[in-house]
């Protein structure tokens, strides 16, 4: 789907509960750090934006250089955030919806359990 | 690009403020801050300095409401190539600051200032302000009126007014200069260029175009000057002309500039009245500005110069304007665009300025994370420049981001970040507050970011040469992220810490703790020797009810909540060392050396003792920190001070507690203690500690060694306990009590000894004697003890401490310090103390009673000369001398008197065994009632005592001891014993309840058995020191239970025989006096004693048998002849009297004969019947005496 992407789930306490570097681009450590910095900063935008709209999918809310941040805010104010460099909005939206479903399932089974997290991780990697 | 731009920047006059001569930095700062206060000069205030030389071009100048604004640039600025384009970029005035005390030569100062002014060609006004001149300088300076302005020394306020006047004067001169310039520009026109259009070779067409454009540009510049002069209406008019002309000539860049100016003029005109319509207007216009700046981008000179920075500046100006009304969405959009544009900026410094401004604007908007993000971008740009100052800047910028990334130094946090904006809408959920609190404390899940930021701070601090910041960053990095750092990285950080510390002066403190992790482990309780007991002043026994007494932790009757831990209190005493256990953890891969460590007490009323610790990699350690409280009052221990890695830091226990709490909830990466293998600690509530004045302190030891006292069961021993007052206060009250098991083993307690030595002065000692009697081991103890003794062969250890009795000594010092103590003081009664002194007694199984049983024996008596003495005849002491009586008694108790009938003699047989490995000697003693006979040795109980010879029992042997019970018989068989029984039997119809009397009887019986048993004592002795008493009571009781009647009650009649020799006849030598010769007449007597209180009538008979048991008086083969009556002798014996019946026997054959007397009692009463246990009243009662032996010697 994307050449460079970083996916993160942020709990309502602003704590990241899941991180994954996805996408086909070669992974570099400093790039991954930058991705996290951008995503962390984008939380400020999401925080304001989420209360102005009823939509769950907030596309392209923030960007830095070529990196664009899209967010999916769940009802429980958990934020699924994707940092990407392409503009395939539909693909991103459907990705978010699938991840949300998975997230709900896994949440039932306690996200803390590492096995489920592994399953979750594999599913997400597969989707990209 | 310029920093800190806003729409209003266009109307500010730039003034360079330059230090002249030597001006100390702090003084310069003071002076500059004075200038800053005068940034706006109202036009109304400058009218006195203003003279209108010619008609002012600023026709609509608002003299009543308008103002002139200054922007002061300390140190000035290099001239900008864009000065023509934006006149506000020109430096229009130069002010020198001269500090006279440090610059005595005013002439040279003026020269210096004049030289400096040459760099500012556009400056219209130059002034040099000389502060604090001395008198001579004042005089001297007065000559240079044109440039120099002297500020005589005055107070701050006066100086301020003086300065204000000077600034008004400057404003007036500037205004007049602007008028001149505008008039000149309008008439002559000027060439206005920007770097954009300063090409070397202008084509003719372009020259023509430039000429056309010139007019528009001139109008724009005049507009700029109008703005600077504080006349927005004039400015607006000129700008609109300029816009028209620029549009016509396609001069987009100047069009945008003029548009910018017109917006500024609009805002100035409407100052203080910003509404939505105006906002929209400004927004619209500025978007236009941005658009036109973008349009003016010319491809061919893009490499050299670009209007991009103006576009970005305009974007930032608009953003700043909108920021005020919190149109965050628009602002974000603008700033994001600006950030995007930053990529194309050629100059690195421009990019730096851009990012700084973006970060500031995000910060104003409240977007701290965004601001932090761009601040970090700024820091990275700084770090790309390889110099120390840039590194310092980077460090400072990064320090600002630490709050957003939650890695701030503790030095910058005054309060714990309890209330966080981020909790946002869910904040109302009060139930989750606690969780949120913890979450806000540890947002460490963004660990990647946090580590990067800290690493960058470390890097920049090292580069900037700030060792303390470097140390602090490395400490935070190591402490919080050690699980994410490789061992090599950890070592690197450790060496970074050490390197930084080397550059720091020793004793430097840092707010951020590094390693180790320190948590409170426990407060060791006072050793039982030093227990502190609260005194209740009202009671005599002040210790009662204060301490938790009794074995139960929880009692349903105790008031309040026993589980309320917060009420836990700890009492420390001034001058007595205390200890606190803390646990240290080093989860890193290097050896950690803590140079010194001690408890932190801020009140200063505590002397802490520092210690040093070495912690191997991945280890934890519990250590004891100690100190001495020095003054009375409450004390709190928030943490401890640690000197590690060359820097002193304070470690708060609360921080680690929070960390552990966070770890428990999965918010923190790792629990350092668990990763070091330390066990999970229960939540320790920190007790409130109060320090009390000095108390007495008793220390005890057992005289002769504090080791366990080894006793055999039943052993009695005296011990001496020495108590000494080791405190500094005398003991004034003391009381001994007992607790624990086997309390009755302490036979005597020296209450009085202790009381008599009070008050016990400090250093004084008292010795308390105590008598112990070892208790019996229960079956459990036996098993354990026996097993051990058998396996180890040693004397065994103490079996269970729990079974040891404990001596409690409650003691206290003086109740009040002074005589004039009031009631308030009573409540402050210093506490008392309790000395718990377990008596380490080890009881070994000793002599044990295997079995006790009652034996009956038949030992026939010999008939002799002497009158067989019935037992109770000795009641008459007059009959014999005292010595004889003693001797006889002794004899009788020791062995059987052969001349007394001993038929049916009863013995108590005690079978004793000695399982130990020492020898025991058993002594049996019997007490007689002292009232019976006062000749006997009388012991303290008033009873006479007789001892049997000692019996020795070797180890692993058993022995039997016989105790004759004969003398326990009651002297008289009377009805008192049976009375109740008779009543019961005789009057069954009576109203008395049979069960009641039965009970009474039984009780009486038991009482008599008890008294019997208590008179028998079995004492033992082993070796020189051990002696004790065997507990045989129960065993004897069971042995005697069934046949106690027989033991206690005498027969109604006792019989005895004796020879009635003629004293005159010669004594026979051949035989003893108790033998009889054959073929000789042997006169004899039978003695019958009546043991009852009634007269007994009886029919007595005497029989004689030979060895074979044949009756040798009657029958055909009788070998004995007799004289007198032998059968059917009717006798009447008065109560408690004896009757004799004489007869003679003539033995034909020598040998052994047995004489037996028997009687049938006639008209027996109930007592006799009961004794004989007859069934029917008609049954004859038959009494038989014990057999008597007669040895008949032959004559040959």
The closest of B798, B753, B792 to B775, measured between CA atoms, is B798
The closest of A21, A69, A125 to B448, measured between CA atoms, is A21
The stretch B815-824 carries a mean pLDDT of 47
Chain A residues lying within 8 Å of B452, measured CB to CB: 33, 37
pLDDT at B92 exceeding the cut of 80? yes
Pairing of strands B1016-1022, B746-748: unpaired
CA distances from B833 to B569, B721, B739, B828, B830 (A): 15, 18, 16, 15, 10
pLDDT in tens, B287-319: 888 888 887 776 656 566 677 888 888 888 888
pLDDT at B553 exceeding the cut of 60? no
The DSSP 8-state label assigned to residue A14 in this structure reads: S
Chain A residues lying within 8 Å of B666, measured CB to CB: 112
Tell me the DSSP string of B401-438: HTTTTT---GGG-SS---S-GGGGGGGG-GGGHHHHHH
Q: Is the dihedral of CA B246, B249, B250, B251 positive or negative?
A: negative
Which residues 6+ apart lie within 8 Å of B482 measured at CB?
B490, B587, B588, B670, B672
A65/B449 Cβ within 8 A: no
Q: Which one of B343, B370, B445 has the shortest CB-CB distance to A41?
A: B370
CA distance A64 to chain B (A): 7
Tell me the DSSP string of B227-243: HHTT-HHHHHHHHHHHH
Q: At which residue do the structure tokens 């129960």 appear?
A: B1034
Q: Locate all alpha helices (DSSP H) within B555-648, ordered by sequence.
A: none
Tokens (6 digits) for B1040: 């005697």
Rounded to an integer, what distance in angstroms lies between the CA atom of residue B517 and that of residue B47? Answer: 70
Count of beta carbons in the 10 Å neighbourhood of residue B1108: 7
* pLDDT at residue number B423: 34
The DSSP 8-state label assigned to residue B529 in this structure reads: G
CB B708 within 8 A of CB B842: yes
B373/A40 Cβ within 8 A: yes
ipTM of the complex: 0.87
3 state SS of B552: coil
A32/B369 Cβ within 8 A: no
CA distances from B174 to B8, B58, B163, B590, B997 (A): 19, 13, 16, 69, 135
Chain A residues lying within 8 Å of B424, measured CB to CB: 47
Radius of gyration of chain B (CA): 61
Average pLDDT, chain B: 73
Q: Treating both helix axes as pointing N-terminal to C-terminal, what angle do B204-228 and B232-249 enclose, rounded to 10 degrees? A: 170
pLDDT at B987 exceeding the cut of 50? no
Q: Is the dihedral of CA B711, B714, B718, B722 positive or negative?
A: positive
Q: Which one of A12, A37, A47 has the shortest CB-CB distance to B373?
A: A37
Count of beta carbons in the 10 Å neighbourhood of residue B906: 19
Is the bond preceding A76 in cis, omega lying within 30 degrees of 0?
no
Rounded to an integer, what distance in angstroms lies between the CA atom of residue B204 and that of residue B209? Answer: 9
Chain B interface, best mutation among A16, A32, A37, A50, by max B CB count within 10 A = A37
Tokens (6 digits) for B859: 């030992």
pLDDT at B891 exceeding the cut of 60? no
Rounded to an integer, what distance in angstroms lies between the CA atom of residue B904 and that of residue B891? Answer: 19
Is the bond preceding B90 in cis, omega lying within 30 degrees of 0?
no
Q: At which residue do the structure tokens 């597969």 appear?
A: A126
Nearest chain B residue to A62, by CA: B336
> In which order are the strands placed within the sheet that holds B148-151?
B40-42, B67-74, B12-20, B91-99, B125-131, B148-151
The stretch B506-519 carries a mean pLDDT of 81
* pLDDT at residue number B870: 44
Element (H, E) at B95: strand B91-99
Q: Which one of A13, A32, A64 has the shortest CB-CB distance to B339?
A: A64
Pairing of strands B746-748, B765-773: antiparallel
3 state SS of B219: helix
Rounded to an integer, what distance in angstroms lies between the CA atom of residue B568 and that of residue B685? Answer: 8
Rounded to an integer, what distance in angstroms lies between the CA atom of residue A82 and that of residue A93? Answer: 10
3 state SS of B139: helix
Q: How confident is the model at residue B1050 (pLDDT cuts 50, 70, 90)?
A: low
Is A39 exposed, middle or buried, given 0-12, 13-18 or 19+ CB atoms closer than 10 A? buried
B368/A37 Cβ within 8 A: no
pLDDT in tens, B316-350: 888 888 887 667 888 888 888 888 887 777 778 88
For chain A, which residues lie within 8 Å of any Cβ of chain B, measuring from their own Cβ? 12-17, 32-33, 36-38, 40-41, 43-45, 47-49, 51-52, 62-65, 77, 112
In percent, how much of chain B has pLDDT > 70?
A: 71
Which residues 6+ apart lie within 8 Å of B464 measured at CB?
B388, B391, B392, B394, B395
Rounded to an integer, what distance in angstroms lies between the CA atom of residue B840 and that of residue B711? Answer: 10
Q: Which one of B343, B426, B439 has the shortest CB-CB distance to A65?
A: B343
3 state SS of B7: helix
The stretch B377-401 carries a mean pLDDT of 84
pLDDT in tens, B8-32: 888 888 888 888 888 888 888 888 8
CA distance A65 to chain B (A): 6
Q: At which residue do the structure tokens 């999970």 appear?
A: B680
Q: Which one of A16, A41, A48 has the shortest CB-CB distance to B373?
A: A41
The stretch B492-510 carries a mean pLDDT of 84
pLDDT in tens, B615-637: 888 888 888 888 888 887 777 77
The stretch B1167-1171 carries a mean pLDDT of 68
Rounded to an integer, what distance in angstroms lies between the CA atom of residue B176 and that of residue B747? Answer: 117
pLDDT in tens, B1149-1159: 888 888 888 88
Q: Which one of A37, A45, A112 has the shortest CB-CB distance to B332?
A: A45
The closest of B99, B138, B78, B108 to B19, measured between CA atoms, is B99
Tokens (6 digits) for B501: 């510390």
Nearest chain B residue to A52, by CA: B329
Q: Locate all alpha helices (DSSP H) within B200-275, ordered by sequence.
A: 204-228, 232-249, 252-269
Rounded to an integer, what distance in angstroms lies between the CA atom of residue B626 and that of residue B206? Answer: 90
A32/B448 Cβ within 8 A: yes
pLDDT higher at B656 or B644: B644
Element (H, E) at B380: helix B368-384
The stretch B557-566 carries a mean pLDDT of 43
Rounded to an integer, what distance in angstroms lies between the CA atom of residue B900 and that of residue B874? Answer: 13
The region of weakest confidence among A8-22, A38-52, B369-383 is A8-22
3 state SS of B381: helix
Tokens (6 digits) for B266: 């609009």
Strand partners, B905: B857
Tokens (6 digits) for B215: 């007019």
* pLDDT at residue number B542: 64
What global pTM score does this model have?
Answer: 0.64
CA distance A49 to chain B (A): 8
Rounded to an integer, what distance in angstroms lies between the CA atom of residue B183 and that of residue B189? Answer: 9
Beta strands in B100-236 (DSSP E): 125-131, 148-151
pLDDT higher at B526 or B598: B598
Is A6 exposed, middle or buried, given 0-12, 13-18 or 19+ CB atoms closer than 10 A? buried
Is B476 exposed, middle or buried, given 0-12, 13-18 or 19+ CB atoms closer than 10 A? buried
Rounded to an integer, what distance in angstroms lies between the CA atom of residue B44 and that of residue B265? Answer: 19
A62/B666 Cβ within 8 A: no
Strand partners, B731: B760
Tokens (6 digits) for B256: 């945008």
* pLDDT at residue number B797: 39
3 state SS of B1113: coil
Rounded to an integer, what distance in angstroms lies between the CA atom of residue B53 and that of residue B180? Answer: 9
pLDDT at B115 exceeding the cut of 80? yes
CB B917 within 8 A of CB B786: no
A32/B373 Cβ within 8 A: no
Which residues 6+ apart lie within 8 Å of A83 measured at CB?
A4, A5, A6, A7, A8, A35, A38, A39, A67, A68, A69
The stretch B814-825 carries a mean pLDDT of 49
Tokens (6 digits) for B63: 């003299």
Chain A interface, best mutation among B369, B383, B423, B665, by max A CB count within 10 A = B369
pLDDT at B388 exceeding the cut of 80? yes
Beta strands in B705-827 (DSSP E): 709-712, 716-725, 733-739, 746-748, 765-773, 806-812
Rounded to an integer, what distance in angstroms lies between the CA atom of residue B261 and that of residue B226? Answer: 10
């Amino acid at each position: 789907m994307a050449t460079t992407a970083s996916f993160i789930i942020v709990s309502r306490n602003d704590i990241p509960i899941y991180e994954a570097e996805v996408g086909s681009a070669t992974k570099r450590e400093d790039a991954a750090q930058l991705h996290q910095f951008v995503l962390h900063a984008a939380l400020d935008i999401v925080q304001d934006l989420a209360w102005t709209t009823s939509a769950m999918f907030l596309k392209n809310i923030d960007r830095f250089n070529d990196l664009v941040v899209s967010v999916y805010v769940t009802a429980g104010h958990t934020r699924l955030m994707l940092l990407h460099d392409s503009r395939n909005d539909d693909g991103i939206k459907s990705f978010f919806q699938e991840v949300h479903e998975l997230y709900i399932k896994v949440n039932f089974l306690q996200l803390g359990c590492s096995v489920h997290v592994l399953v979750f991780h594999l599913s997400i990697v597969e989707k990209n | 690009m310029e920093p800190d731009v806003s729409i209003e920047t266009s109307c500010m006059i730039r003034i360079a403020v330059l230090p002249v001569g030597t001006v100390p930095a702090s003084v310069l700062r003071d002076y500059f801050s004075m200038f800053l206060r005068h940034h706006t000069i109202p036009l109304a205030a400058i009218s006195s300095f203003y003279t209108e030389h010619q008609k002012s071009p600023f026709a609509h100048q608002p003299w009543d409401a308008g103002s002139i604004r200054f922007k002061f640039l300390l140190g000035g600025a290099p001239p900008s190539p864009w000065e023509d384009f934006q006149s506000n970029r020109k430096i229009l005035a130069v002010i020198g600051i001269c500090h006279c005390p440090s610059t005595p030569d005013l002439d040279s100062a003026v020269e210096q200032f004049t030289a400096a002014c040459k760099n500012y060609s556009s400056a219209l006004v130059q002034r040099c302000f000389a502060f604090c001149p001395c008198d001579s300088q004042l005089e001297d300076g007065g000559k240079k009126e044109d440039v120099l302005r002297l500020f005589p020394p005055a107070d701050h306020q006066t100086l301020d007014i003086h300065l204000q006047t000077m600034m008004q004067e400057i404003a007036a001169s500037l205004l007049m200069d602007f008028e001149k310039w505008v008039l000149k520009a309008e008439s002559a026109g000027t060439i206005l260029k920007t770097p954009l259009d300063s090409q070397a070779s202008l084509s003719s067409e372009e020259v023509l175009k430039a000429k056309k454009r010139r007019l528009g540009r001139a109008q724009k510049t005049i507009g700029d000057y109008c703005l600077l002069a504080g006349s927005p209406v004039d400015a607006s008019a000129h700008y609109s002309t300029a816009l028209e002309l620029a549009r016509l000539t396609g001069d987009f860049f100047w069009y945008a500039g003029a548009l910018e100016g017109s917006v500024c003029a609009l805002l100035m005109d409407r100052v203080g009245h910003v509404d939505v319509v105006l906002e929209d207007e400004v927004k619209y216009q500025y978007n236009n500005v941005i658009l036109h700046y973008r349009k003016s981008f010319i491809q061919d000179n893009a490499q050299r110069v670009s209007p991009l920075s103006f576009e970005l500046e305009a974007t930032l100006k608009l953003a700043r304007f909108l920021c005020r009304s919190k149109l965050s969405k628009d602002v974000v959009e603008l700033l994001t665009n600006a950030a995007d544009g930053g990529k194309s900026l050629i100059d690195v410094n421009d990019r730096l300025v851009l990012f700084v401004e973006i970060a500031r604007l995000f910060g104003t908007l409240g977007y701290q994370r965004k601001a932090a993000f761009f601040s970090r971008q700024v820091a990275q740009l700084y770090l790309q420049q390889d110099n120390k100052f840039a590194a310092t800047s980077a460090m400072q910028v990064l320090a600002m981001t630490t709050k957003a990334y939650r890695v701030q130094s503790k030095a910058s946090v005054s309060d714990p970040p309890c209330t966080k904006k981020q909790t946002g809408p869910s904040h109302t959920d009060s139930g989750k507050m606690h969780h949120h609190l913890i979450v806000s404390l540890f947002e460490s899940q963004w660990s990647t970011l946090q580590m990067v930021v800290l690493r960058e701070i470390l890097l920049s601090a090292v580069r900037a040469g700030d060792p303390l910041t470097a140390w602090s960053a490395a400490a935070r990095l190591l402490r919080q992220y050690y699980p994410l750092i490789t061992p090599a990285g950890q070592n690197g950080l450790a060496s970074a810490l050490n390197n930084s510390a080397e550059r720091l002066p020793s004793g430097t403190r840092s707010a951020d703790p590094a390693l180790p992790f320190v948590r409170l482990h426990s407060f060791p309780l006072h050793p039982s020797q030093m227990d502190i007991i609260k005194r209740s002043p009202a009671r005599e026994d002040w210790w009662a009810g204060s301490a938790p007494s009794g074995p139960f932790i929880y009692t349903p009757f105790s008031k309040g909540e026993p589980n309320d831990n917060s009420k836990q209190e700890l009492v420390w005493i001034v001058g007595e060392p205390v200890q606190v256990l803390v646990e240290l953890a080093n989860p890193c891969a290097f050896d950690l050396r803590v140079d010194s460590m001690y408890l932190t007490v801020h009140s200063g009323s505590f002397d802490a003792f520092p210690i040093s610790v070495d912690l191997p990699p991945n280890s934890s350690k519990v250590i004891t920190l100690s100190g001495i409280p020095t003054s009375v009052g409450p004390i709190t221990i928030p943490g401890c001070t640690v000197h590690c890695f060359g820097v002193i830091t304070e470690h708060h226990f609360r921080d680690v507690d929070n960390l552990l709490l966070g770890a428990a909830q999965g918010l923190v990466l790792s629990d350092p203690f668990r990763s070091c293998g330390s066990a999970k600690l229960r939540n320790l509530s920190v007790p409130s500690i109060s320090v009390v004045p000095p108390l007495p302190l008793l220390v005890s030891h057992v005289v002769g060694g504090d080791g366990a006292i080894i006793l055999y069961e039943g052993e009695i021993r005296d011990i001496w306990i020495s108590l000494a007052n080791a405190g500094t206060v005398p003991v004034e009250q003391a009381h001994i009590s007992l607790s624990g098991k086997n309390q009755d083993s302490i036979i005597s307690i020296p209450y009085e000894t202790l009381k008599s030595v009070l008050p016990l002065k400090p250093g004084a000692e008292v010795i308390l004697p105590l008598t112990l009697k070892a208790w019996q081991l229960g079956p459990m103890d036996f098993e354990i003890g026996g097993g051990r003794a058998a396996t180890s062969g040693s004397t065994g250890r103490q079996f269970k401490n729990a079974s040891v009795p404990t001596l409690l000594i409650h003691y206290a010092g003086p109740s009040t310090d002074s005589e004039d103590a009031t009631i308030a003081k009573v409540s402050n009664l210093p506490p008392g103390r309790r000395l718990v002194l377990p008596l380490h007694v080890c009881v070994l199984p000793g002599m044990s009673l295997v079995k006790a049983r009652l034996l009956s024996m038949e030992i026939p008596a010999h008939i002799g000369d002497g009158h067989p003495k019935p037992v109770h005849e000795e009641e008459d002491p007059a009959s014999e001398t005292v010595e004889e009586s003693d001797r006889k008694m002794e004899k009788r108790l020791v062995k059987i008197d052969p001349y007394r009938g001993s038929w049916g003699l009863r013995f108590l047989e005690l079978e004793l065994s000695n399982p130990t490995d020492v020898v025991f000697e058993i002594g049996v003693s019997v007490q007689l009632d002292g009232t019976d006979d006062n000749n006997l040795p009388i012991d303290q109980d008033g009873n006479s005592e007789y001892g049997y010879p000692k019996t020795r029992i070797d180890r692993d042997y058993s022995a039997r001891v016989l105790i004759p019970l004969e003398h326990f018989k009651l002297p008289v068989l009377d009805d008192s014993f049976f009375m109740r029984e008779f009543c019961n039997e005789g009057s069954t119809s009576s109203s008395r309840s049979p069960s009641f009397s039965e009970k009474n009887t039984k009780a009486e019986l038991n009482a008599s058995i008890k008294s019997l048993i208590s008179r028998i004592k079995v004492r033992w002795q082993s070796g020189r020191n051990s002696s004790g008493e065997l507990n045989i009571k129960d065993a004897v009781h069971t042995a005697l239970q069934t046949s106690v009647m027989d033991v206690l009650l005498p027969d109604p009649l006792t019989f005895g025989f004796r020879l009635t020799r003629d004293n005159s006849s010669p004594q026979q030598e051949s035989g003893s006096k108790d033998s009889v010769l054959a073929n000789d007449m042997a006169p004899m007597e039978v003695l019958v004693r009546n043991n009852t209180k009634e007269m007994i009538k009886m029919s007595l008979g005497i029989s004689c048998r030979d060895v074979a048991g044949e009756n040798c008086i009657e029958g055909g083969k009788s070998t004995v002849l007799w004289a007198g009556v032998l059968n059917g002798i009717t006798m009447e014996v008065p109560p408690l009297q004896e009757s004799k019946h004489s007869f003679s026997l003539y033995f034909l054959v020598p040998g052994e004969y047995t004489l037996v007397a028997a009687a049938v009692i006639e008209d027996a009463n109930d007592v006799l019947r009961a004794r004989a246990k007859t069934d029917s009243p008609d049954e004859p009662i038959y009494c038989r005496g014990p057999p008597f032996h007669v040895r008949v010697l032959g004559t040959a």
